[in-house]
Amino acid sequence: MTSKVYNKQIGGSHYKDMVVQPSEFINKNKLQFAEGNAIKYICRHAHKGEVQDLEKAKHYIDMIIERDYGPQENWIDGYNKWKDLSMKGVVNNKVKIGDLKHLLK
């Protein structure tokens, strides 16, 4: 059962019309700030901020990934590292004979 506090919304009705308001879900599951904001923006995008709300959700998800799993390499940087190692003789995790000391510098 929803408490009275969730029956009130200041500024619009985009949350009140939902079966479960994002704030109630977030609070009852004791989610952290970034997780809560990602959920909030995903839930309201169709009724309020559209694509901008989805971009905001992605931003918060990127924060969670970096916070919990460290900075992530983008595919271009990964490709450039692979290309550099390939040019140095590393192909499919194999090193040309005699090049290991040179590659480790």
CA angle 101, 102, 103 (to 5 degrees): 95
Residue with tokens 């839930």: 43
Please indicate, yes or no, whether residues 56 and 96 belong to a single structural domain of this protein: no
Q: Which domain holds residue 20?
A: 4-69
Please indicate, yes or no, whether residues 65 and 78 belong to a single structural domain of this protein: no
Mean pLDDT of 62-71: 92
Please indicate, yes or no, whether residues 12 and 31 belong to a single structural domain of this protein: yes
Please indicate, yes or no, whether residues 99 and 64 belong to a single structural domain of this protein: no
Please indicate, yes or no, whether residues 17 and 63 belong to a single structural domain of this protein: yes
Mean pLDDT of 59-73: 91
Please indicate, yes or no, whether residues 94 and 51 belong to a single structural domain of this protein: no
Identify the CA nearest to 36 among candidates 21, 17, 22: 22
Q: What is the pLDDT of residue 31?
A: 97
Report the SS3 class of residue 91.
Answer: strand
Please tell me the total count of domains within the chain. 2
Indicate the pTM of the whole model.
0.64
CA distance 40 to 19: 14
